[in-house]
Structures are given as structure tokens and as C-alpha cells.
Amino acid sequence: MTIPGFGDSVEITNAEYAQFQQLIHKIAGISMSDSKRTLLVGRLGRRLRHYKMSSYSDYYKLVTGPTGKQELQQMVDLLTTNETYFFREPRHFEFLTNTILAQHPPGQPFNVWSGASSTGEEIYTLCMVLADKLGAKGNWSVLGSDLSTQVLSVAEKGEYMLERTRGLPPAYLNKYCQQGSGDRQGYFTVNADLRQHTKFRQINLNQPIPEIGKFHVIFLRNVMIYFDNPTKRQVVSKLVSKLHPGGYLIIGHSESLNGLTEQLTVVQPTIYKLP
């Protein structure tokens, strides 16, 4: 129910929208265009209703004030969460299987980082591919990171509604997932023997990357479309520093690193390799 005078019924001024544009760019490096105004109002309007606020200026004061740290994280969660699903852009997973893993020395560790893992579908897609190729008890690991703590908590549980099986082959659903019963009917959970290979961590790509080791493959898909070119260059440089020699960086099909780095070579569109 909409409370008259609050939330969705409140219009955002140009000056207020500009404040949030600058804030989300400062925190996450995201360049939020004017076309995203409706998205911002739709997602933050509920927070205005929650606090019974009558202006976006009041909400801005809250999230930037001394007591607003928790609400600021809530705001970031709302503005940075994007759609994801299992085996999204399947050609990448085919390349991982048929080229990268096929060339990897047997028995050697294999580490992957999903740099924008959202609610975890990409993480567990990777787990299924790696378990298929290297064995469920093989020497491999997948790190999932995101700016949003909310989506990371979902990812860590590895439990999804059965309606969320978009892209997931039935054979994988049967082999690597357990369908719920009782009060969990209508849900499925990724098997524990796959989840034990995963770790989750909040990482802001717009800040210095913490010590997380190095990786044979980094997935950062459908994220850099929201960055301006200076931010893209900085992020790519940080990612390259976390790759093993010969490692791969895989980005989304609507993205390109053209003109952003000389450290990586193009293997095919959206797939880059560190020599």
C-alpha cells in the first residue's frame, strides 16, 4: 500500500538525482545515466515509504550521515543488483570446458573468481562445469564476490526457487541439486559437495582489491557497461594483477576492452588472455 505523500508518490528533482548519481559513482564506480531515473525512484521509493520521508533529499542526508552506514549498504544493494541466471551466455562455459580446462595440467589446482556473482547462479554454473571436468572432489575452487551483501547472502545458501532454473539443464539439476520437501517444497539446493569448493566475499571493485590470491580465470560479465572509461581501466588493471600468467578474463557479450588495456590479448570477442 502506498502511503500518500511518501515513496513512489514523491518526485525526485534534477538536483536530487544528480546527488545520487555522484554518490553511486563514488562508491561503486557506476555511471548512472538519466535513463535510470525511473529505476532509482522505483527502488528507493520503498525506502522513503519505510522512513515516511517526503523528499529524496531527506533520504540522501540519512545515507550520507553519521548514522546511515547500514542504510547506505541497503541503498547500494538496491541500485546494483542485476538479473542473472544459470548458464547465462553459454558459449563462455563451452570455452571454459573445451579450451581452458582441456589445456590445464591434470591434478593441478584450478581457481576461478566470479567478480560480480550476484545471487550465485554464475558461481554454481561454474561449480557444475568444474565438477564435470575435474570431479566433485577435485582440486578446484570458486570465489564469488559482489558489492551487495544482500545478494551474497542468497548466493552462500545456494538455495533457489524451482522457477529459477532458467538455463539450467535438467541433467545438471538432477545430478548436482537436491529438490526440497516439506516447507522447502518448490525450492532446490546446490549439493554440499559443490558448495564446499566456494567462498564468498564482499569486494568493491572501485576500491583496492584485498588479498585473495591469483586465479586461472576471472569472470566479470555485464558489469563494466555501467562504468566510464577511466573506471574501466582501473578495474581491468586490478583484475589483471589477480591473474596467473596465461590466465583468462571473460567479460559480457555487450562489453569490450578495446582501448582499455595493453596487458591482455584477445582470444575471441569477450575472452582475453594474459600472456
Has residue 4 got a pLDDT over 80? no
Considering the candidates 43, 164, 195, 233, report the single residue annotated as catalytic: 43
pLDDT higher than 80, residue 269: yes
pLDDT category of residue 228 using cuts at 50, 70 and 90? very high
pLDDT of residue 3: 40
pLDDT at 5 over 50: no
Instruction: Collect all residues with Cβ–Cβ distance below 8 Å to 88 and sequence separation of at least 6.
Output: 121, 122, 125, 167, 221
pLDDT tens for 172-187 read: 999 999 999 999 999 9
**HEC string of the chain?**
CCCCCCHHHCCCCHHHHHHHHHHHHHHHCECCCHHHHHHHHHHHHHHHHHHCCCCHHHHHHHHCCCCCHHHHHHHHHHHHCCCCCCCCCHHHHHHHHHHHHHHCCCCCCEEEEECCCCCCHHHHHHHHHHHHHHCCCCCEEEEEEECCHHHHHHHHHCEEEHHHCCCCCHHHHHHHEEECCHHHCCEEEECHHHHCCEEEEECCCCCCCCCCCCEEEEEECCCHHHECHHHHHHHHHHHHCCEEEEEEEEECCCCCCCCCCCCCEEEECCEEECC
Asked if residues 117 and 146 have their Cβ atoms less than 8 Å apart, the reply is: yes
* 8 flagged as catalytic: no
The percentage of residues in the chain with a pLDDT greater than 90, rounded to a whole number, is: 91
Our answer to whether residue 146 is catalytic in this structure is yes
Q: Confidence class of residue 268 from pLDDT cuts 50, 70 and 90?
A: very high
**Residue 80: band (very low, low, confident or very high) from pLDDT cuts 50, 70, 90:** confident
pLDDT of residue 183: 92
Rounded to the nearest integer, the mean pLDDT of the chain is 94
> For residue 85, is pLDDT > 50?
yes
How far apart, in Å, are the Cα atoms of 228 and each of 223, 232, 234, 252? 11, 6, 10, 16
Give pLDDT tens digits for 37-79.
999 999 999 999 999 999 999 999 999 999 999 999 999 989 9
pLDDT tens column, 189-218: 999 999 999 999 999 999 999 999 999 999
Q: pLDDT-derived band of residue 10, with 50, 70 and 90 as boundaries?
A: confident
- What mean pLDDT comes out for the span 131-152? 96
Mean pLDDT over 75-93 rounds to 90
pLDDT tens for each residue of 93-110 = 999 999 999 999 999 999
Domains of the chain: 7-80 (1.10.155.10), 90-273 (3.40.50.150)
| Mean pLDDT (whole number) for 23-32 | 93
- Crossing angle for the helix pair 69-80 and 56-63, nearest 10 degrees? 120
What is the structure's pLDDT at 83?
76
Residue 84 near residue 118, CB atoms below 8 Å: yes
In whole angstroms, give the CA distance from residue 76 to residue 83.
15
Q: For residue 122, is pLDDT > 90?
A: yes
**Marked catalytic residue, from 47, 49, 88, 146:** 146
Position 127 pLDDT exceeds 90? yes
